[in-house]
Amino acid sequence: MSPETLEKLKQRMSKFPNFTYNAMNKAGDLHTNTNGCKPNAVTWGVFPGREVVQPTIVELASFDAWKDEAFALWEQWSRCYPQHSKPRELLNELGQTWYLVNMVNNDYHEKDGIFEFFKEDVLAAQQEQQAEADAKAVEQEIATKLQEVTISTAATSLVSPKVDAVAIAEVVKA
């Protein structure tokens, strides 16, 4: 997670008192809202009719080990690209500046809690995508109309500049 996004996460945490988080960068800079001495029990890998496949706890010592593994994998990933290539430089930069983050909703009865936490971000991303799609559609429509105008003016061999200006004005107005 980028440092900027981490700051937003920390600000939003105050609205979700049942959530805990740990965030640590490669250098070990820790941000958390937990009591570092107490483990936080979580489970995952739960399937109907079966026992829990992988119970675990989140504690700072475990998280620190996960951090080392995660950033080592990130570094290995970057080496898949040639030295001085943009992908490798990007991955190296992110590995040096971004944070590994875990979040836990400690109210397991609240089935949509984690989704509520990210709802604002999802809606904002959807609105941004829709605005981009709308802008591209308008650009495409203008390009198509300009092409139509170009074709129609080319079909009439000698069209006055005044007619061309009127045709272009029609496209822009539309």
Residues 6+ apart with CB under 8 A from 17: none
Residue 134: per-residue pLDDT: 87
Q: What is the DSSP letter of 2?
A: -
Residue 90: per-residue pLDDT: 94
* Single-letter amino acid, residue 170: E
- Nearest-angstrom CA–CA distance, 82 and 78: 9
Residue 40: per-residue pLDDT: 72
Residue pair 100/23 in contact by the 8 Å Cβ criterion: yes
Residue 56: per-residue pLDDT: 72
- Nearest-angstrom CA–CA distance, 166 and 162: 6
**pLDDT lower than 70: segments of the chain:** 37, 41, 43-46, 52, 55, 152-174
